[in-house]
């Protein structure tokens, strides 16, 4: 029975038989011509010959050659009564089908006949074919029939298995064509089936369906738990052929554990208890001596263990299990099997983000660092880098950054850029001391200069410009670093820029006098590329302003032929203009034009954006994208908003902002050149997204203006509730905030019985008119499933980062198709500045001392307004607490008044806030006073809180 249908003649095509590629192609073409002539011949081929030639074609295709005929003959084979001919026909279709609609109709017809044949072997072939092709046309034809076969009482077990996975494939291709129905509850009960093969196939199907329709399949939880429990407690021989190397039903166990990850921990205490027991048993088994030395035994056992750990992490509710999981992974970190070390590092990354186990993960830092140094496989080292990044916090940042830096010296080229980005991000995020930050970045340039992208060195400059406490140190440090005889060009750029701005801070020392600084930079000039030389020319003109004593020297340089007559037009132009500027402009004008750069607008670190982009959704064309993070950055609308400095269009872009308008001496030059335009466009595009005209009737009117409507104000003091509802859609919210970060769960409920298609909710941050260039809020989310079934609910998680204080709430734009028409809903997301409030308790004395310190007229904002609600003391207190500030009792001498204090956390700053609310019962009025160190914060908080009473 080992006969092959490939004749000996054609076997010679295979490796080793044909001397050269050309000979092989020649041979194949000859064979193809032969087959073609047979198919086209006058004589009708019998089934056997047809099968033989179709099989040959398949063989040739699998050798890597293109096949453009034979499809029709293969389809003919499908209707043969001979099993072997039918089988080859199906195989050809499965491997080589194209979406030729004429053929699909014929294929579907043959499948239909086989499904109706009641012959389990033929039914099996037909179901395999549907599952293999899985096209939409097939879903249209069979999505109704397959569920019936699956749950019919008289269907054979093997057919049931095929039907389950066939349905799974159809659901993945075209979920909209597989309607839930009566069959769903019967499918759930397949978890109880006696045949473990049926249970295995059914569990895959249920898992996929439950991900999209959790309600419909809720009952599968308890069934899965009891099935799992029976498996993990069974003796190793109980399950006969389903025991794999002494591990009972490992595939099924993994699948059941996966299914349970579609749900939160079971509510029923009995089920929950049983599941905890199962998980404990699995963890216990990991400590038992192995029943076999075979790697298959340990792999199967550990596959179940890792899946159990995933479930524990998913539930994130049992500290005891989480810590046990962490300890178990800790053991694996030192296991002799590379595979286990790899998986342990990977799994620990997720554990690091659970508050219960973050600390436990941190205890393994030395092992992970050691892995970074000693692992021989780059993909394992990569996991170690990821884990170090995940476990990094303020307490260990210095150590982790130092280790990553030292690893970078020898790191594989393929992961250097990513490590550079990670180091840069960690250094910035956890910098308590900005001198350390500057040192770290300069080290990055020294060690891996080629991998330090523009984003990284732009960022260090932005930070130095924005923080006056580090400028002197930065100038001194770059000056020292530039002493090295061979330094990376990126260092020359950073050095040139920083000395141009802050060289004066170190000029008092004769060892770094203006002339010394200039000579040092100029010694590098000739070795640098054009963009760097252009930057240095700007540094020189800045020197002319900072240090009048070097002006003649610099003018000489500018006047030199190599500048004034440089072949590069950018260099030449700069030389000419700077020379002229230095000659004609008075000291005052020079000082204005060449003023120190204004602070850069604060926004998301461009490096973070770069890492996200690097690790973002991969495109088929981009080999670089090897990462699994799939977060979508909605920050910048359709075009990712480039960071201010990095958005400048040309490589010779002028960081000093002079290139754009050197002759305009009024005010500081625009700091972000071309970026400004991009921002204006992307902001207006996303923020002003209007309601679709046709849909307005269906919906409650929404504020079209970017102002918080009264309706939205109910969320100012609470985090959960229904945000929006109309006849079609209900949107619920749950959110939590901590410091400058937040997470919002948005629940979209389809109130109709019809599917929503192309369902795309997009949260978009908005900017006020005052600050078009800034991004105050970063919102990150993943796309939700585009199909929402009737009555179903989908959930979307939005991660929020507050970068700086803001006024405008983000907007949630939702588009979907309902019954053939496009629906558009825009609603404001209640993310307001006070969400980032942390209460601060303080004594009466402290409060008034600070209150007095904030007596600047801009720091105080006051509002006197009429009460809109009954003036109830308890409700008022609850509102102030809900608003996020601490309620300070016995602080105000007048007990009727309310006093609060707290800190607004943004990524860039922390603003202390004091508030005082004085009710006047008689007049039914309030006076609200806000004092903070920042005018905009005082104003915004006052606005928000005033609406509440």
521-526: long-range contacts at Cβ-Cβ below 8 A with a sequence spacing of 24 or more? Answer: 521/482, 521/492, 521/495, 521/496, 522/557, 524/482, 524/487, 524/492
- Integer angstrom CA distances of residue 618 from 544, 623, 662: 48, 8, 42
Residue with smaller CB distance to other proteins, 135 or 832: 135
- Least distance in angstroms from the C-beta of 628 to other proteins: 5
Residue with smaller CB distance to other proteins, 206 or 438: 206
Tell whether residue 53 is among the known ligand binding residues.
yes
- Integer angstrom CA distances of residue 759 from 216, 414, 662, 789, 814: 20, 38, 50, 10, 7
Residue with smaller CB distance to other proteins, 119 or 844: 119
Q: Determine the 3-state secondary structure of 236 from DSSP.
A: coil
- Least distance in angstroms from the C-beta of 587 to other proteins: 58
Residue with smaller CB distance to other proteins, 3 or 855: 3
Cα dihedral across residues 316, 319, 325, 331: positive or negative: positive
- Least distance in angstroms from the C-beta of 830 to other proteins: 32
Residue with smaller CB distance to other proteins, 98 or 363: 98
Backbone angles phi, psi at 782, to 5 degrees: -110, 150
Q: Which residue has the tokens 């799994």?
A: 347
- Least distance in angstroms from the C-beta of 220 to other proteins: 16
Backbone angles phi, psi at 865, to 5 degrees: -145, 165
Backbone angles phi, psi at 54, to 5 degrees: -60, -40
- Say how many residues make up the chain: 949
Plot region of 341 (φ>0 → left; ψ -120 to 50 → alpha; else → beta): alpha
Residue with smaller CB distance to other proteins, 202 or 431: 202
Residue with smaller CB distance to other proteins, 633 or 860: 633
Query: What residues have CB less than 8 Å from 372, skipping those under 6 apart?
Result: 381, 384, 385, 388, 403, 404, 407
Residue with smaller CB distance to other proteins, 380 or 716: 380
Task: Produce one character per residue of 653-682: b if its CB has 16 or more CB atoms within 10 Å, e if not.
Answer: bbbbbbbeebeebeeebbbbbebbebbeeb
Residue with smaller CB distance to other proteins, 259 or 536: 259
Q: How far apart are CA 117 and CA 125, in angstroms?
A: 11
Q: How far apart are CA 189 and CA 804, in angstroms?
A: 53
Q: How far apart are CA 234 and CA 242, in angstroms?
A: 12
Q: How far apart are CA 826 and CA 720, in angstroms?
A: 19
| Gyration radius of the chain's alpha carbons | 34
Beta-carbon count within 10 A of 753 CB = 8
Q: Are 888 and 847 in contact (CB under 8 A)?
A: yes
Q: How far apart are CA 322 and CA 540, in angstroms?
A: 59
- Least distance in angstroms from the C-beta of 762 to other proteins: 21
- Least distance in angstroms from the C-beta of 15 to other proteins: 6
Residue with smaller CB distance to other proteins, 104 or 904: 104
- Least distance in angstroms from the C-beta of 222 to other proteins: 23
Beta bridge partners of 763: 812
Tell whether residue 52 is among the known ligand binding residues.
yes
- Least distance in angstroms from the C-beta of 444 to other proteins: 24
Identify the CA nearest to 349 among candidates 743, 615, 662, 746.
615
Residue with smaller CB distance to other proteins, 133 or 800: 133
- Least distance in angstroms from the C-beta of 610 to other proteins: 18
Residue 178 in tokens? 């597989």
CA 397 to chain centre: 23
Residue with smaller CB distance to other proteins, 258 or 766: 258
- Least distance in angstroms from the C-beta of 206 to other proteins: 11
Strands across the sheet containing 821-828: 756-764, 811-818, 821-828
> Is 409 exposed, middle or buried, given 0-12, 13-18 or 19+ CB atoms closer than 10 A?
exposed
Backbone angles phi, psi at 598, to 5 degrees: -70, 160
Residue with smaller CB distance to other proteins, 786 or 839: 786
Tell whether residue 55 is among the known ligand binding residues.
yes
- Least distance in angstroms from the C-beta of 51 to other proteins: 10
Q: Which residue has the tokens 């104003």?
A: 939
Q: Are 13 and 63 in contact (CB under 8 A)?
A: yes
Q: What angle do CA 505, 658, 599 make, to 5 degrees?
A: 55
Query: What residues have CB less than 8 Å from 819, skipping those under 6 apart?
Result: 754
Tell whether residue 225 is among the known ligand binding residues.
no
- Least distance in angstroms from the C-beta of 217 to other proteins: 17
Residue with smaller CB distance to other proteins, 152 or 378: 378
- Least distance in angstroms from the C-beta of 107 to other proteins: 16
- Least distance in angstroms from the C-beta of 328 to other proteins: 14
- Least distance in angstroms from the C-beta of 281 to other proteins: 18
Q: How far apart are CA 240 and CA 236, in angstroms?
A: 8
Residue with smaller CB distance to other proteins, 254 or 329: 254
Task: Produce one character per residue of 533-545: b if its CB has 16 or more CB atoms within 10 Å, e if not.
Answer: bbbbbbbbbbbbb
Cα dihedral across residues 275, 281, 284, 290: positive or negative: negative
Tell whether residue 48 is among the known ligand binding residues.
yes
Q: Are 695 and 824 in contact (CB under 8 A)?
A: yes
Annotated binding-site members: 38, 48, 52-56
């Amino acid at each position: 029975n080992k006969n092959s249908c490939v004749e000996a003649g054609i076997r010679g095509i295979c490796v080793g038989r044909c001397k050269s590629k050309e000979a092989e192609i020649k041979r194949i073409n000859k064979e193809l011509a032969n087959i073609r002539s047979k198919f086209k011949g006058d004589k009708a081929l019998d089934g056997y010959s047809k099968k033989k030639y179709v099989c040959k074609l398949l063989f040739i295709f699998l050798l890597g050659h293109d096949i453009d005929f034979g499809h029709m003959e293969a389809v003919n084979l499908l209707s043969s009564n001979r099993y072997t001919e039918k089988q080859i026909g199906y195989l050809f279709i499965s491997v080589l089908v194209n979406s030729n609609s004429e053929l699909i109709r014929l294929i579907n017809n043959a499948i239909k006949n086989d499904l109706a044949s009641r012959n389990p072997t033929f039914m099996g072939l037909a179901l395999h074919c549907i599952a293999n092709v899985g096209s939409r046309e097939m879903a249209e034809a069979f999505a109704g029939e397959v569920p019936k076969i699956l749950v019919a009482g008289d269907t054979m077990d093997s057919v049931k298995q095929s039907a389950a996975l066939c349905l799974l494939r159809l659901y993945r291709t075209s979920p909209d064509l597989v309607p839930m129905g009566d069959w769903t509850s019967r499918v759930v009960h397949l978890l109880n089936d006696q045949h473990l093969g049926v249970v295995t196939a059914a569990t895959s199907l249920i898992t996929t369906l439950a991900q999209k329709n959790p309600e419909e399949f809720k009952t599968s939880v308890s069934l899965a738990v009891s099935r799992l429990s029976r498996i993990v407690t069974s003796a190793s021989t109980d399950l006969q052929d389903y025991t794999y190397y002494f591990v009972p039903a490992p595939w099924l166990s993994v699948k059941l554990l996966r299914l349970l990850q579609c749900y939160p921990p079971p509510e029923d205490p009995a089920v929950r208890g049983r599941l905890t027991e199962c998980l404990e048993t699995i963890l216990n088994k990991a400590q038992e001596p192995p029943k076999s030395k075979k790697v298959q035994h340990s792999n199967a056992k550990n596959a179940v263990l890792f899946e159990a750990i995933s479930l524990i992490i998913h539930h994130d509710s049992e500290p005891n299990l989480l810590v046990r999981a962490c300890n178990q992974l800790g053991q694996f970190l030192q296991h002799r099997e590379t595979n286990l070390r790899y998986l342990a590092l990977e799994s620990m990354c997720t554990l690091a983000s659970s508050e219960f186990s973050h600390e436990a993960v941190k205890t393994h830092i030395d092992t992970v660092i050691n892995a970074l140094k000693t692992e021989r496989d780059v993909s394992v080292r990569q996991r170690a880098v990821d884990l170090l990044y995940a476990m990094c916090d303020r307490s260990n940042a210095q150590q982790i950054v130092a280790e990553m830096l030292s690893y970078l010296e020898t790191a594989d080229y393929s992961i250097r850029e990513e490590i550079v980005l990670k180091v840069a991000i960690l250094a910035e995020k956890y910098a308590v001391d900005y001198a350390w930050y500057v040192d770290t970045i300069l080290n990055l340039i020294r060690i891996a200069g080629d991998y330090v992208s523009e984003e990284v060195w732009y960022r260090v400059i932005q930070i130095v410009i924005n923080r006056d406490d580090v400028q002197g140190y930065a100038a001194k440090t770059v000056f020292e670093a530039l002493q090295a005889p061979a330094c990376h060009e990126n260092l020359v750029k950073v050095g040139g820029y920083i000395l141009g701005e802050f060289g004066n801070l170190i000029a008092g020392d004769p060892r770094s006098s203006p002339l010394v600084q200039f000579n040092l930079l100029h010694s590098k000039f000739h070795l640098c590329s054009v963009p760097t030389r252009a930057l240095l020319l700007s540094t020189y003109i800045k020197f002319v302003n900072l240090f009048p004593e070097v002006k003649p020297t610099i003018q000489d340089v500018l006047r030199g032929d190599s500048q004034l007559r440089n072949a590069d037009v950018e260099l030449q132009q700069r030389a000419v203009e700077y020379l002229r500027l230095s000659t004609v402009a008075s000291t005052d004008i020079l000082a204005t034009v060449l003023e120190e750069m204004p602070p850069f607008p604060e926004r998301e670190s461009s490096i973070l954006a770069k890492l996200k982009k690097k690790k973002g959704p991969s495109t088929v064309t981009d080999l670089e994208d090897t990462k699994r993070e799939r977060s979508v950055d909605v920050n910048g609308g359709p075009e990712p908003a480039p960071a201010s400095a990095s958005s400048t269009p040309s490589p010779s872009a002028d960081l000093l902002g002079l290139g754009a308008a050197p002759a305009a001496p009024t005010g500081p030059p625009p700091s972000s050149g071309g970026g400004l335009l991009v921002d204006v466009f992307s902001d207006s595009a996303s923020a002003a997204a209007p309601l679709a005209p046709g849909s307005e009737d269906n919906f409650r009117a929404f504020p079209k203006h970017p102002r918080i409507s009264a309706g939205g104000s109910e969320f100012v003091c609470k985090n959960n509730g229904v945000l929006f509802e109309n006849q079609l859609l209900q949107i619920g919210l749950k959110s939590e905030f901590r410091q400058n970060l937040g997470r919002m769960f948005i629940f979209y409920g389809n109130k109709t019985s019809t599917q929503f298609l192309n369902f795309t909710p997009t949260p978009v941050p908005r900017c006020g008119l005052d600050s078009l260039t800034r991004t105050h809020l970063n919102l990150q989310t993943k796309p939700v499933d585009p199909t929402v079934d009737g009555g179903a609910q989908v959930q979307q998680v939005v991660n929020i980062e507050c970068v700086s204080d803001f006024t405008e709430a983000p907007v949630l734009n939702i588009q979907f198709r309902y019954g053939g028409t496009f629906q558009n809903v825009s609603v404001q997301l209640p993310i307001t500045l006070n969400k980032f409030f942390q209460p601060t308790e303080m004594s009466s004395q402290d409060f008034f001392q600070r209150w007095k310190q904030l007596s600047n007229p801009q720091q105080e904002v006051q509002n006197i307004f009429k009460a809109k609600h009954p003036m109830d003391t308890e409700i008022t207190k609850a509102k102030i607490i809900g608003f996020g500030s601490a309620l300070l009792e016995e602080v105000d001498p007048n007990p009727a008044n309310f006093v609060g204090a707290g800190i607004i956390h943004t990524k860039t700053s922390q603003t202390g806030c004091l508030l005082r609310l004085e009710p006047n019962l008689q007049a039914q009025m309030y006076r609200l006073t806000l004092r903070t160190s920042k005018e905009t914060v005082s104003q915004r908080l006052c606005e928000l809180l005033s609406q509440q009473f």
